[in-house]
A and B are shown apart, each in its own frame.
Chain A
Amino acid sequence: MSSHTLSVRLENKPGALARVSQLFSRRGYNIQSLAVGPTERADISRLTLRVDCSEHSLEQIEKQIHKLVNVLRVTELTHDNSVERELALVTVAVGPERRADLVSLALAAGARVADIGRDAITLEVVGRPEEIEALEELVRPFGVRELVRTGRVGVRRPSSTNQQPKGSNGRDRHVR
């Protein structure tokens, strides 16, 4: 078992997202994170899915997603060939006496202050998933009241020259 990121381009049609997500539960695969949003074209959405599964299951998932009528393309994003980012909002319980410590730590870690309350601060951070996790660890001792992550989104690096993984049918898996 290992984690994989799949990028799915799909038609922006009613129910299209539901068709992808029901396929995962139906076939017994667990989605770790899912982010969906518009793309450069209004009629196309992009889904970035994070799943924990074996190589064999991953191939099955890709093939099953391919068969969905609304799906235009499925690509696996790997660490080497893609840029991946995530956004997190963290509300940290902190009174005036330790506020300055937290803020300077957060700024040093690349976060921004999104809101300040009497006894709490909300930080926002955008970065690679590891950076999000690092910030989370950093502020945890202060007392994390709430944390929300968008789930990762990704695109292939224009600079990447890696070949796409091949499917068992001998063709590029992402080509329909």
Chain B
Amino acid sequence: MSKPSFLLSALAGVGGLWRKKAANALDEDLKSADPERRGQALFRVGRTHMRLGEIEPAISYFDQALELLPNFAEAAAARAESLDMLGRLDVAHSDYQRARELWARQHPGAPDRSYVFRQRGRFTFEVESYELALARIKTGSFPHLGWGNALLAQGRPQEALACYERALKIKQNDPDLTALKGEALAMMGKYRDAIKAFDVALAANPKSVETINAHGIACAALGELDMANGDWRRQLQLLPKWQPAARACVALRLADYEAALPELEQAIAKDPHEPYWQLYRLTALRRLGHPVPAVETPAGAAWPAVLIDLQCGRATPDDARHRAETKGEEAEALFQIGVLAVASNPQAAQGCWREVVERAPPALVEYAAARNELSRPGP
């Protein structure tokens, strides 16, 4: 056997092992009791059938995935496309619509943070595509990056970190990849390591507003508020005027309501249906001692509608706390309860904000705002 063909056969074996491993992982996921894992596995089997032109079995897998995960937009979209391929556009139409609505309903992250946190979806389709790309593209970091981002957006920083590390092996010392590695480390609570990564990224691109923001968040998490505020002030300087929502969020992190208010007004003019800008505007008005207008409860979204109702006197602090479903929502509620209380009972307000600092994820706008509120001289 010649040398090249020997190598090829050896590599083919490695490839076979990899495929076997992947297939085993899929089998395990299909047996999993966790609906998320099983649902995603069913989707992937459905996609395989779809690729093979076996449309009816594909639809059946997507149906099963949707039964387990009714908000699985990717499965709804794939089901729609399958039905469309069968000429059943009338039925497909509602699935296409459903998928778009599901994606749209997921709230994106704060606009002053990395783009990764503003993404919406499970990204199962994308991850599958990146996996396929990786089988062919050996010298490209992009599929690793895309895959890593999908994992990070889903709150899986350890796996994301592994993807970024692989990408960095191909594109060594890349500042953008290093910044994302920092985001993954920060999400894992490794703030000092994250800051090191952000410093490397910022040395190459000192005007990267998203990295500056992330650096600030990591500093704040370590209790270094002055340094964090310095980052956010710089970010505010660098952010263009036509990004009022991002500028407002940075100003809110600084608890600089005077700076935040005009930005929020512009953000509302640009996107009147975003309830957070309405809520934050009420927050700013109240903290600046201005009259707070009655704002209609936004239709559709349960959260943060209750917080707007709270600010407008249509809901109680208890209502707000009870409606919170996640740690983040709970912190948002506590922060607003503090804002509501500060004029009449500053100590109660401080208690709420202290709780925010103790319990909220440091990346939350309210976490930074609460820290800044607490750093100011008391009444």
Partners in one complex: no
Residues of A whose CB lies within 8 Å of any CB of B are none
